[in-house]
Amino acid sequence: MIALFVGLAVFIGGLILVAFLPSLVARLVKGWAWLYTARLPSDIRARRRAEMRSDLWEHARAERELGYRPESIALHQFLRCLFGIPADLSWRRSQVRQSRHVRPRSLRRGLPLEPALAEKLVSELQQLDPLMQKVVALKFDIELSNAEIARLLDLSAAKVGVELDSALKQLRNSLAHDLRPWLTAARLAEPGAGRQKSDAGQ
């Protein structure tokens, strides 16, 4: 009797899941788009969300017309979303960097890069191993994700991570001396730095 009840519940639950799966997945994908575009400038945010809405709709319509079952359509949409997550995150990072609407997280805090330091940075970049140079350029100039760089250079993602870490470590070490006074100036320029000083004096 219990087995019959459980079986019936699973069957009904399955039917409900299949019936609502496409809309659930569509909501999930839209929710993800909403999440990774949050706090970006409104025009960029609206464009990406609208493109996602359109793509989901076109995808569902096209596959319905081709005779796909709703759960297959949902699975295809889910996989498209899942495999695109690294690119979504990397895209968001690049948008955040370019955006003035989101608080900058870099150490620069909006200070201009001094020409002498920029020259030193370029000179140090040229000292890097050619593979490191490629990885750094692809990561920070073209703003690719590690997975994309790995595919492009025919490396493993782990190797890309290692090359990137080594390059950044090498750059930090070689620039540490030159960066120190500049970073100190940047810290003093942070909003609240003066207030902290006066608070400490009280």
Which positions lie near other proteins, rule CB under 8 A?
Answer: 29, 33, 47-48, 50-55, 57-59, 61-62, 76, 79-91, 142, 144, 148, 151-152
Among residues 18, 20, 48, the alpha carbon closest in space to that of 34 is found at 48
Largest Cα–Cα separation, the chain: 82
Q: 20 or 57, CB closer to other proteins? A: 57
**Long-range pairs for 92-99: beta carbons < 8 A, 24 or more residues apart:** 92/36, 92/37, 92/40, 93/143, 94/143, 95/40, 95/41, 95/44, 96/40, 97/143, 99/40, 99/41, 99/44
Please report how close the Cβ of residue 55 comes to other proteins at its closest, in angstroms: 5
Q: 1 or 66, CB closer to other proteins? A: 66
Q: 29 or 171, CB closer to other proteins? A: 29
Per DSSP (E only), the strands in 40-174 are none
Q: 47 or 169, CB closer to other proteins? A: 47
